[in-house]
Amino acid sequence: MIAPGKVPAQELAVLKRRLREHRRFRQKQLQDLADPSQDRRTAAHVEIQASLAAAAHQVLSNIEVASTRMNTGQYGSCQQCGRPIDLQRLRIVPHSRYCARCHHAEDTRRAAIEPTGSQKSGGSGEDGCWSR
């Protein structure tokens, strides 16, 4: 029997691989953003690149946390409420730190304190790859 809230070993292996793919993708993205041949003639370009880089850094830090939690057996539980994160959600965003409920609450909180428009640029870094 699988203990509730625990990610099955087989599933964990798949998610581990995905996590590595995400990490590679983000590292490549940061390299590209740091490329001096990139177009950054306008202030808008610089701003967009800065927010992309910030989002990539945020995702990378989430990936590191997820990877550590995989090694310590804590992976798959919400860092906010401790409840198991939906496996479906982990398959889409393997570096999710929060369950869908806490993630939504966090987004609402951010939207309330940040000026309009900025919460979509970086967000919590959770769903970055998929919203663009």
**Shortest separation between residue 55's beta carbon and Zn ion, angstroms:** 22
| 3-state helix, strand and coil shares in percent for the chain, rounded to the nearest 5 | 65, 0, 35
Identity of the residue, 11 or 106, whose beta carbon is nearer to Zn ion in the bound complex = 106
CA atoms within 13 A on the CB side of 13: 2
The site for Zn ion (CB under 5 A) is made up of: 78, 80-81, 99, 102
Note whether 23 and 95 are within 8 A (CB): no
Nearer to Zn ion, 80 or 121 (CB): 80
The number of helix segments (H) and strand segments (E) in the chain equals 5, 0
Q: How far is the CB of 44 from Zn ion (least distance, A)?
A: 36
Q: Which is nearer to Zn ion, 51 or 80 (CB)?
A: 80
Smallest gap from Cβ 85 to Zn ion, in A, equals 7
